[in-house]
A and B are shown apart, each in its own frame.
Chain A
Amino acid sequence: MTGIIGWGAYIPHYRIKAEEIAKAQGQDADTIKSGLRIEEKSVPGIDEDSATIAVEAAKNALKRANILPTEIGAIYLGSESHPYAVKPTGTIVAQAIGMSNNYTTADLEFACKAGTAALQIIYAMVKSDMIRYGLAGGIDTAQAAPGDPLEYTAAAGGAVFILGRENIVAEIKDTVSFTSDTPDFWRRAYQKYPSHGGAFTGEPAYFKHIINATELLLKKVNKKPTDYTYAIFHQPNGKFPVRVAKKLGFNNEQILPGLLVPKIGNTYSGSSILGLAAVLDIAKPGDTILVTSYGSGAGSDSFDIEVTDQILRIRNKSQSVQDYIDNIKYIDYATYLKYTKK
């Protein structure tokens, strides 16, 4: 059996309301809020980046996993906002959480699905017995150009998972991917902000990849949507995941506990896996979870996960996702510009 032995989340303290951004962009807040189904988004402090967010999430994961950091043999972190273009975030995080030097790392990037790509790599390494324990995470401090519709959603946060073969709290039973060359969203080298194909980001991109990956997984594990207690789909806004769930045959009860975007925004590489962390915070032994990420460019990773009775032992050893959603401070647009260095 291979699976999660500890999970940890981190979302920065600051929030900006959609109204505040609409005011600066000269748009109607109610139209935006109902269109994107978003109320507010998280904003990193000026001294926070993907490395500091990953460190806090990894420390929370370690509080739950009953192992020493020196026992972790690999760390893979996915982000589209690694602090350095050249120098791995994994090295900074490994040092800060007290890992030994006997580990392998490389940074991953695949728009919003780099976190689940990390999870797949660590899963394979642990399952094949190449390493005993591994750490996978997805974190971002997403940037959008002032005036871009993405400014309402581009947020900061992340989740980290420690995988092993014993004392598993959530078994990863299977995973599949669906990937193609689709230019729906990109950022060229040396550019500060991404570019995107507008309406093109919907049907041929988000919906096509999530639906195909999820259907491939359901077929492979021989399950149907109603077999799952929870389902989490990538959350670029509050509308897409609800619509894709409905198309696939999942109901609101299954997706709402993991749907965080209305309150925190789209945390890119952290998005679907923060949803998974929020579900693990409340899941019961025997619950089944389906997670499908989406990364522009484009691809989806889908996971079949089953919660074990070990979860009750470690759940309360760290702050929950809800704790980070509750303890916040609202800032105005001028402060937001300063914090995000626009």
Chain B
Amino acid sequence: MTVSKFWRNIPQYYNLIGKKCPECNSYYFPPRDVCSQCGNHKLEEHKFDGRGEIVTFTIIRTPLMDPEGEVIDIHAQTIPYILAIVKLEEGPKLTAEIVDCEIDEVKIGKEVGAVFRKIVEKGPHGVIQYGYKFKLVR
């Protein structure tokens, strides 16, 4: 991701800012301009508080590489790691890593909360991209 694209998306990545439709109470993450349920064009900003549950998950054992052959996700240096689809309390689903957790502890339906972590570090010279990951609620 380019620095400018990352910068534009900081409210999403850092603060889980999405959208809410005041007409039909639908929630969107990532944010969108038009409500897909009722067609309303006037959606409001909504800050998700990061509580949710695991819908499904997979264990990544091969690190993601970019076309130049560099490891993209810094956590991929510690494969295997857990990648999950998390359903936020308000409804939207998103893909994120589950951290501070053993593979045999992660289960479908487990409650999770968002944490703030490094996502991508572009080598020793590049910008550090931070964002949300999730942790089991213990």
Listed in ascending order, the chain A residues whose CB lies under 8 Å from chain B are 13, 45-49, 51-52, 55-56, 59, 83-84, 92, 95-96, 98, 327, 329, 335, 338-339
Min distance, Cβ B129 to any Cβ of chain A, angstroms: 11
Apart from A56-B116, A339-B78, list 8 A-B contacts with CB within 8 A: A45-B100, A46-B75, A47-B75, A52-B116, A56-B115, A59-B116, A95-B15, A96-B130
Chain B residues within an 8 Å CB radius of A335: 78
CA distance A48 to B84 in the complex (A): 19
B130 and A92 form a contact (CB under 8 A) = yes
Min distance, Cβ B81 to any Cβ of chain A, angstroms: 10
Chain B residues within an 8 Å CB radius of A84: 128
Min distance, Cβ A341 to any Cβ of chain B, angstroms: 9
How large, as a class, is the contact surface on chain B?
20 to 34
Chain B residues within an 8 Å CB radius of A98: 15, 47
Does B138 belong to the interface (CB within 8 Å)? yes
Chain B residues within an 8 Å CB radius of A83: 128
Chain A residues within an 8 Å CB radius of B47: 98
A47 and B10 form a contact (CB under 8 A) = no
Out of B78, B116, B119, name the residue touching A55 (CB < 8 Å).
B116
Which single residue of chain B is at the shortest CB-CB distance from A96? B14
Chain A residues within an 8 Å CB radius of B74: 46-47
Min distance, Cβ A34 to any Cβ of chain B, angstroms: 31
Chain A residues within an 8 Å CB radius of B87: none
Does B118 belong to the interface (CB within 8 Å)? yes
CA distance A96 to B129 in the complex (A): 12
User: Top 9 closest A-B pairs, CB basis?
Assistant: A13-B100, A47-B117, A55-B116, A47-B118, A96-B14, A47-B75, A52-B116, A46-B78, A96-B116
How would residues 65 to 82 of chain B score, 1 for a CB under 8 Å from any chain A CB and 0 otherwise?
Answer: 000000000110110000
Does B99 belong to the interface (CB within 8 Å)? yes
Which single residue of chain B is at the shortest CB-CB distance from A13? B100
A52 and B130 form a contact (CB under 8 A) = yes
How would residues 9 to 25 of chain B score, 1 for a CB under 8 Å from any chain A CB and 0 otherwise?
Answer: 01000110000000000
A338 and B77 form a contact (CB under 8 A) = yes
- Select the residue from A46, A327, A329 with max chain B CB neighbours within 10 A: A46
Min distance, Cβ B70 to any Cβ of chain A, angstroms: 15
Chain A residues within an 8 Å CB radius of B100: 13, 45, 329
Which single residue of chain B is at the shortest CB-CB distance from A54? B116
B15 and A96 form a contact (CB under 8 A) = yes
Min distance, Cβ B76 to any Cβ of chain A, angstroms: 9
Known contacts A56-B116, A96-B15, A338-B78; is-contact A45 B99 (Cβ 8 Å): yes
- Select the residue from B99, B116, B119, B128 with max chain A CB neighbours within 10 A: B116
Chain A residues within an 8 Å CB radius of B102: 329
Chain B residues within an 8 Å CB radius of A45: 99-100, 117
Chain A residues within an 8 Å CB radius of B116: 52, 55-56, 59, 96
A-B pairs with beta carbons under 8 Å apart, 24 shown: A13-B100, A45-B100, A46-B74, A46-B75, A46-B77, A46-B78, A47-B74, A47-B119, A48-B117, A49-B128, A51-B128, A52-B116, A52-B118, A59-B116, A83-B128, A84-B128, A92-B130, A96-B14, A96-B116, A327-B138, A329-B100, A329-B102, A335-B78, A338-B77
Min distance, Cβ A150 to any Cβ of chain B, angstroms: 23
Chain A residues within an 8 Å CB radius of B78: 46, 335, 338-339
Instruction: List which B104-138 residues lie within 8 A (CB) of chain A.
Output: 115-119, 128, 130, 133, 138
Which single residue of chain A is at the shortest CB-CB distance from B115? A56
